[in-house]
Amino acid sequence: MIWFDTTKAGRSAHHSGLMRVSRRLQAELGPAARPATGLAWQDQAQARDWYLTAEVFAPEERTGWTEMMHRRPCRLAAVFHDAIPLRWPKITWPQSVRRHPSYLKMLAGFDRVWAVSETSRRDLTGYWRWLGLEQVPPVELLPLGADFDGQPRRVSSPREVAPLLLCVGILEPRKNQAVLLDACEQLWAAGAEFELHLVGRVNPHFGRDLHRRVRQLQRKWPGLKHHARAGDAELAALFARARATVFPTIAEGCGLPVLESLWRGVPCVCSDLPVLREIADAGGCLMVRPDQPAAWRDALHRLLTDDGEPQRLTQAAVARALPTWRECADVLRRGLAD
């Protein structure tokens, strides 16, 4: 039996990457995984049961967790996302920055850990070495699913598209939409006709200035749209119309928006980061350094005006192999079978 942690995912209405991972894994694990909130599972768990969490928390945030770690009524497994709060503390939620050191140290006491990218795996194991920990669990790679809404993959090319660019991600400095707005504003000022759709809620701690700028630009450039509460159906409709997606992020654990774009057969212009190269190198992506607005402007201009470039990228996107959430769940199911 797998007791699957739904403490946050069960009550959150957010469409964040972490929530996507928890909900899609729970759905694909199916009857093999029983939902567990906090430590509500502990009186029923048997010695050979597993407790699996894809959530991020510190022991002090869950009553009885430290005692349970010592008593061990079952074995513990986790999906590890990233070390971003340690690497980018000035633009990360203060609560996340406070909890992350104890969270990473806590994972060293688990029995199995899967990282969502090779970059994240190196970050976690490197942190453990820095702490001087000798007894740590194996950390394996877990390719996340690209089929975000469970719909079939687009496998044909070419497709009819509008001059529409789509950017998915919470509005905040880490997602780097400011660089994208700079590039698009220059293109609009030069006479380019296209739409930029931003999909994602506003980070209430760091995103207000960016949101204010979006509203200001909307008054001048009607092609700029913001969807703060888009669900999967609305997102799928935008993918169907998009010429390309754009992902100018400066830090990621995996890069789910890139995978989800490729699943829909939509090419992606994404930041040239090691973690995104793990996805982009197989095709369908155009990579640009996140700190170069002029390079973003030129890349977007080429995609909007040269039909050959998006067609080439689309063909590469639909031809390449992509992981599914079912395959992701199978990796965990096999790993927890003993």
Mean pLDDT of 108-131: 98
Q: How far apart are the first and last CA of the chain?
A: 11
d(CA 15, CA 257): 12
The label of the residue with tokens 């754009």 reads 246
Question: Confidence class of residue 44 from pLDDT cuts 50, 70 and 90?
Answer: low
Please report the pLDDT score of residue 13 as a whole number. Answer: 61
* Neighbouring-strand partners of residue 140: 114
Whether the pLDDT of residue 180 is over 90: the answer is yes
Question: Confidence class of residue 318 from pLDDT cuts 50, 70 and 90?
Answer: very high
Mean pLDDT of 193-206: 96
2-145+324-335: CATH architecture = 3-Layer(aba) Sandwich (3.40)
Half-sphere CA count of 246, side-chain side, radius 13 A:
30
The CA R_g of the chain, rounded to the nearest whole Å, is 21
> Could you report the per-residue pLDDT of 279-312, keeping only the tens digit for each?
999 999 999 999 999 999 999 999 999 989 999 9
Please report the pLDDT score of residue 231 as a whole number. Answer: 87
Whether the pLDDT of residue 45 is over 80: the answer is no
Residues for the chain: how many in total?
338
Whether the pLDDT of residue 59 is over 70: the answer is yes
Question: Confidence class of residue 328 from pLDDT cuts 50, 70 and 90?
Answer: very high
3-state SS of the chain?
CEEEECCCCCCCCCCCHHHHHHHHHHHHHHHHEEEECCCCCCCCCCCCCEEEECCCCCHHHCCCHHHHHHHCCCEEEEEECCCHHHHCHHHCCHHHHHHHHHHHHHHCCCCEEEECCHHHHHHHHHHHHHHCCCCCCCEEECCCCCCCCCCCCCCCCCCCCCCEEEEECCECHHHCHHHHHHHHHHHHHCCCCCEEEEECCECCCCCHHHHHHHHHHHHHCCCEEEECCCCHHHHHHHHHHCCEEEECCCCCCCCHHHHHHHHCCCCEEEECCHHHHHHHCCCCEEEECCCCHHHHHHHHHHHHHCCHHHHHHHHHHHHCCCCCHHHHHHHHHHHCCC
Question: Confidence class of residue 10 from pLDDT cuts 50, 70 and 90?
Answer: low
> Could you report the per-residue pLDDT of 70-88, keeping only the tens digit for each?
888 899 999 999 999 999 9
Average pLDDT over all residues of the chain: 92
* Among candidate residues 248, 242, 256, 234, the one with its CA nearest the CA of residue 313: 242
Please report the pLDDT score of residue 152 as a whole number. Answer: 86
Whether the pLDDT of residue 43 is over 70: the answer is no
Which CATH class, in words, describes the domain spanning 164-319? alpha beta
d(CA 160, CA 76): 48
How many beta carbons lie within 10 A of that of residue 196, not counting itself?
A: 25
Using a pLDDT cut of 70, give the percent of the chain over it.
Answer: 94
d(CA 22, CA 188): 39
Please report the pLDDT score of residue 157 as a whole number. Answer: 62
Phi, psi of 48 (to 5 degrees): -95, 5
Question: Confidence class of residue 158 from pLDDT cuts 50, 70 and 90?
Answer: low
Mean pLDDT of 315-335: 95
Write the single-letter amino acid at 185.
Answer: E
Whether the pLDDT of residue 200 is over 80: the answer is yes
d(CA 230, CA 198): 10
Whether the pLDDT of residue 222 is over 70: the answer is yes
The model's pTM: 0.93
Please report the pLDDT score of residue 46 as a whole number. Answer: 64
Mean pLDDT of 100-116: 97
Please report the pLDDT score of residue 68 as a whole number. Answer: 87
Whether the pLDDT of residue 56 is over 80: the answer is yes
Whether the pLDDT of residue 213 is over 70: the answer is yes
- For the chain, the domains span 2-145+324-335, 164-319
